[in-house]
Structure 1
Amino acid sequence: MLDFQEFFTACTGLWKTERIYHSLIEGQVERSFTEFRVESLTGDQKQQILSLSSLEGMQFDLAQVESGEIVCPGFAIAFDTLSETGEQVSMSLKALFIPDTYFDGVPEETSAAVPPLPLTAQVPATPEVIKGYYLRDEGYSEPGAVKSRFTYLPSRQTLEMTTYYRRSVAIDQMRLVAPDLRLRTIITYKRPETGEAPTVIDLVGFGVERRQDL
């Protein structure tokens, strides 16, 4: 069983993945192949993320967040994706994970701003579960900085990230089942009206990811 920091350390390196996406609304299926290059964030890179204007109002212990200790891990990620139709996409981003326990104050998020979580993203609050904010300098579905929620369950070595975009809600789950093998599931909902939980699933993706440098 990997603790919070050990999980992120195990996820660095070079990974290759094959995914299959099911578009439920359009009734289409598509495969893609991706190569990820993942490095741990430095203190300076963490500061770059924390300085983004979209994070105004979030109060935390800056010294602990920037440190290289176990408190707030993060990734610098670069990837190249090739779909079976020949479409190529390349992207790089930085992501920082801050547990709720290191916030002095978390902005109030009411149903007016963020709808309730989908049932698939609801995790009971237990001492084992680590919850917090997942901050990126760039989103996948929409450009610009993104603030998301995450949970980490050590007993299953599973990280789950929930992102509210303007038009959709994405739930991305990563489970490390061996030092060189991860399972990935991605569920995308249509973003509902204010105050309603997402129920309409637009896209479901599955992936097998293998680390190449062990």
Structure 2
Amino acid sequence: MLNFEEFFTVCVGKWKIERTYHYLLAGQVEKSYTEYDVSTLEIAQKQQILSISALNGIKVDLARVDANSSLPGFAIAFNTRSETGETLSMSLQALFVPDTCVTSDTVIQEIPPPTAAAVDSTAETIRGFYLRDEGYSEAGAIAGRFTYQPTRQTLEMTTYYKRSVAVDQMRIVTPDLRLRTIITYQRPANIEEPPSIIDLVGFGVERKQPA
């Protein structure tokens, strides 16, 4: 069983990824191949992300950050090629801040999650903010929510974009094998309504390459 910090340590390295995307509303299926290069975040990179998030009201209480909660994260650079020949290259940084590490004046707005992101609260479940300097679907810094379940070695990230809601689940099966699922919903006009219309479902097998 991987604890919170160990999960991110295992993620560091080069990964080769094969995915299949099902565009349900369009009735299309597409396959893609991706190469990921994942590295740990430097202190300066973490501080930059925290500075941006503080401007958006998410503030970290450094006194609460200790050996049991070191604010893990990673820097990602990837290249993707679809079966139709389309390519996409991108790099971003992501930091994971447990709710126990934010200041008392940080407002945690619990938007109703879609069914795919519903997780039972247990003593082991870690919840927090998923902070990025760049979004996937929309440009600019963005904050989402995450849960981590140690016994399942599963990290789940939910991001509310302006037009969609993305639920990205990453499960470590062995140190060199991850399973990935991605579900994208249309974002409801009513903020109190949980997303229910699914636009995309993606499945991936991710293999870590020898160092």
Q: Which residue type is aligned with residue 98 of structure 1? A: V
- Inter-partner Cα distance in structure 1 for 2:136 and 2:203: 17
- Inter-partner Cα distance in structure 2 for 1:68 and 1:79: 30
Q: Which residue of 2 aligns with 1:205?
A: 202
- Inter-partner Cα distance in structure 2 for 1:54 and 1:86: 40
Q: Is the 8 A contact 2:50 2:60 kept in 1?
A: no
Q: Which residue type is aligned with residue 183 of structure 2? A: I
Q: Compared with structure 1, are the counterparts of its residues 108 and 69 closer, same or farther at alpha carbon in structure 2 (3 Å cutoff)? A: closer
Cα deviation, residue 53, structure 1: 6.0
Deviation per CA, 1:143-167: give whole Å up to 9, x if none.
0101000000000000000000000
- Inter-partner Cα distance in structure 2 for 1:189 and 1:134: 18
Structure 1 consecutive aligned stretches of length 4 or more whose deviation exceeds 3 Å: 62-65, 67-70
Matches within 5 A, 1:30-109: 30-52=30-52, 55-62=55-62, 70-105=69-104, 106-109=106-109
Cα deviation, residue 93, structure 1: 0.3
Q: Which residue type is aligned with residue 196 of structure 1? A: E
TM-score with structure 2 setting the length: 0.94
Deviation per CA, 1:27-48: give whole Å up to 9, x if none.
0000000000000111111001
Deviation per CA, 1:3-61: give whole Å up to 9, x if none.
00001000100001000000000000000000000001111110011111674322222
Q: Which residue of 1 aligns with 2:157?
A: 161
Q: Which residue type is aligned with residue 39 of structure 1? A: S
Instruction: Give the gaps of 5 or more residues in structure 2.
Output: none
- Inter-partner Cα distance in structure 1 for 2:79 and 2:67: 28
Q: Which residue of 2 aligns with 1:125?
A: 121
Q: Is the 8 A contact 2:171 2:178 kept in 1?
A: yes
Q: Compared with structure 1, are the counterparts of its residues 153 and 53 closer, same or farther at alpha carbon in structure 2 (3 Å cutoff)? A: closer
Q: Compared with structure 1, are the counterparts of its residues 160 and 152 closer, same or farther at alpha carbon in structure 2 (3 Å cutoff)? A: same
Matches within 5 A, 1:142-161: 142-161=138-157
Cα deviation, residue 193, structure 1: 1.8
Deviation per CA, 1:58-101: give whole Å up to 9, x if none.
22223665x88742101010000000000010000000000011
TM-score with structure 1 setting the length: 0.93
Q: Is the 8 A contact 1:64 1:72 kept in 2?
A: no
Q: Which residue type is aligned with residue 78 of structure 1? A: A
Cα deviation, residue 213, structure 1: 2.1
Q: Is the 8 A contact 1:55 1:147 kept in 2?
A: no
Q: Compared with structure 1, are the counterparts of its residues 6 and 80 closer, same or farther at alpha carbon in structure 2 (3 Å cutoff)? A: same
Count of matched residue positions in the alignment of Structure 1 and Structure 2: 209
| Percentage of identical aligned residues | 63
Give the stretch that moved more between structures: 15-24 or 99-108.
99-108
Counterpart check, 1:172 vs 2:172: no
Give the stretch that moved more between structures: 159-168 or 67-76.
67-76
Q: Compared with structure 1, are the counterparts of its residues 183 and 53 closer, same or farther at alpha carbon in structure 2 (3 Å cutoff)? A: closer
Instruction: Give the gaps of 5 or more residues in structure 1.
Output: none
- Give the match's secondary structure for 1:142: coil
- Inter-partner Cα distance in structure 2 for 1:101 and 1:37: 30
Q: Is the 8 A contact 2:145 2:158 kept in 1?
A: yes
Q: Which residue type is aligned with residue 33 of structure 1? A: Y
